[in-house]
């Protein structure tokens, strides 16, 4: 149980789907070998914790082959949005179809397959923003704290919103400044990734509180299901899915939020604005 009730229309803003590998083979360049974790399996867990909306994030193991993510999106279109992965070769017709289906952004994973030099990351970010601006999408970034700091001036000048994964891994001055100025959104996901002590991840609370203090209106939350374990670029081990307790993770959010209104806004209202969900489900 959490200190506050999960609000109506709560949205899990960060999770991944892995399909049958015979139908959805992984990319040639990847940091782990995925195992099937279906959308139906996730949906049972979402119902248990009281979430009715979800944003599927394309995992790095599939590269720019978004078929698994898009097929899951098609299965529950009213309550589901998605974040895709593209590159310069992705056809414009594909982007238009993704927009029709409910894709609302593209992700740059600048961690899982190695961290690029700042100049390369800036070029990749600017290219992605230029491609998706016409659709009203955002660019979602998973990056190290130092790289986020290097990207900060570029982020401020982009024509599209930017969403930072997993609390930016650290509440740096650059991250907090961008958030306070409304230049970014931040996902309060991945407490286990932010924690340095493990266990109950309570050492992530100061980071969460700092982000909430900076700008609670530009924060969303996600389970990070199915909790992909640590992986090393270039070492193709079979993935380990970690069994984190979602109610405990929600309890950390409630403790960091400090009141029911902020807790509800992060879980429902903010997500509806960012991902274009209606105020009331059909």
Q: Find tokens 């310069």 and name the residue.
A: 88
Q: 224 an active-site residue?
A: yes
CB hemisphere CA count around 187 (13 angstroms): 28
Cβ-contact 164, 110 below 8 angstroms: no
In whole angstroms, give the CA distance from residue 148 to residue 139: 13
- Cis upstream peptide for 226 (omega within 30°): yes
The dihedrals phi and psi of 32, each to the nearest 5 degrees, come to -160, 160
Q: For residue 114, count CB atoms less than 10 angstroms from its CB and return exposed for 0-12, middle for 13-18, buried for 19 or more.
A: exposed
Candidates 224, 238, 245, 279; catalytic one: 224
Cβ-contact 165, 144 below 8 angstroms: no
| 3-state helix, strand and coil shares in percent for the chain, rounded to the nearest 5 | 45, 15, 40
Q: Which residues are marked as active site?
A: 224
């Amino acid at each position: 149980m959490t200190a506050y009730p999960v609000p109506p229309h709560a949205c899990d803003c960060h999770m991944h789907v892995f399909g049958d590998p015979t139908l959805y083979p992984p990319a040639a360049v990847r940091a782990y070998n995925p195992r099937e974790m279906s959308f139906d399996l996730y949906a049972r867990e979402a119902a248990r914790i009281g979430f009715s909306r979800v944003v599927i994030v394309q995992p790095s193991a599939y590269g720019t082959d978004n078929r698994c993510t898009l097929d899951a999106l098609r299965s529950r279109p009213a309550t589901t949005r998605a974040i895709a992965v593209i590159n310069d070769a992705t056809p414009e017709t594909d982007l238009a179809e993704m927009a029709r289906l409910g894709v609302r952004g593209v992700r740059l994973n600048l961690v899982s397959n190695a961290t690029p030099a700042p100049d390369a990351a800036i070029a990749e970010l600017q290219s992605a923003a230029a491609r998706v601006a016409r659709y009203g999408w955002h660019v979602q970034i998973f990056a190290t704290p130092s790289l986020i700091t290097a990207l900060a001036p570029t982020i401020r000048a982009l024509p599209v919103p930017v969403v930072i994964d997993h609390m930016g891994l650290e509440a740096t001055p650059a991250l907090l400044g961008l958030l306070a100025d409304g230049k970014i959104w931040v996902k309060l996901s991945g407490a286990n990734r932010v924690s340095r002590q493990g266990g109950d991840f309570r050492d992530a609370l100061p980071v969460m509180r700092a982000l909430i203090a900076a700008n609670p209106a530009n924060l969303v939350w996600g389970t990070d299901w199915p909790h992909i374990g640590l992986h090393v670029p270039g070492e193709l081990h079979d993935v380990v899915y970690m069994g984190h307790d979602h109610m405990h993770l929600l309890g950390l959010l409630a403790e960091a939020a400090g009141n029911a209104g902020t807790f509800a806004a992060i879980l429902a209202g903010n997500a509806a604005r960012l991902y274009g969900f209606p105020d009331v489900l059909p």
